[in-house]
A and B are shown apart, each in its own frame.
Chain A
Amino acid sequence: DTGVSQNPRHKITKRGQNVTFRCDPISEHNRLYWYRQTLGQGPEFLTYFQNEAQLEKSRLLSDRFSAERPKGSFSTLEIQRTEQGDSAMYLCASSAPFPDTQYFGPGTRLTVL
């Protein structure tokens, strides 16, 4: 068990480009979460999957954001037409029911120029 991994670790893109991030959860974890964190703030909930089903999605998540977890294992988060305000650390976490401890990955730092 190597923990939650995220790729890439850093992404620099120009405004208007599309970006995709990947999260590989801990293998036996069926629950997966995406958060966004900016400097000096706590993680902001984006979306939650149980197996392959996306059960919760933040109202803050505009239609430029989409997340998938096609086989209930890894997940991808895509941001279309990036804006400078999208610059942040994107964190993924996974958990298994009882005790539902969320294990966070190292994050993908996105910089939109």
Chain B
Amino acid sequence: GQQVMQIPQYQHVQEGEDFTTYCNSSTTLSNIQWYKQRPGGHPVFLIQLVKSGEVKKQKRLTFQFGEAKKNSSLHITATQTTDVGTYFCAGLRETDSWGKFQFGAGTQVVVTP
């Protein structure tokens, strides 16, 4: 089963609003990656976080890695219709060697104009 949990499962947002999606792990992660998958498409890499408390920004997207390296968040400001899709986090447990990424079930984002 999923060892990386994402909430919420669905997010309905009005265009222009902000929202945050969260990723939680029961174990400490050495690496967390975020991906976006458009309907009918394949996952596309957004960002990678490796340091405790790390914050990275990409235009309207802000990614954060928790201090305990067990959770992460993605915050989108001023949502646009192009933000539609499912956002996945993928974590690599500290006890696992490279490669064994565990994906969350994703947050499906629907944007209302």
Contacts and interface: CB of A to CB of B under 8 A. Distances in A.
Given A48-B99, A56-B100, A101 B48 contact: yes
Nearest to A54: B99
B42 A42 contact: no
Contacts of A44: 103
Chain B interface helix/strand/loop/mixed:
loop
A72 interface: no
Interface size class of B (residues with CB under 8 A): 20 to 34
A105 interface: yes
Given A42-B104, A42-B106, A104 B99 contact: no
A29 interface: no
B103 A102 contact: no
Interface in A22-71: 31, 33, 35, 40-45, 48, 50, 55-56, 58
Interface of B: 2, 6, 33, 35, 42-45, 48, 88, 90, 96-106
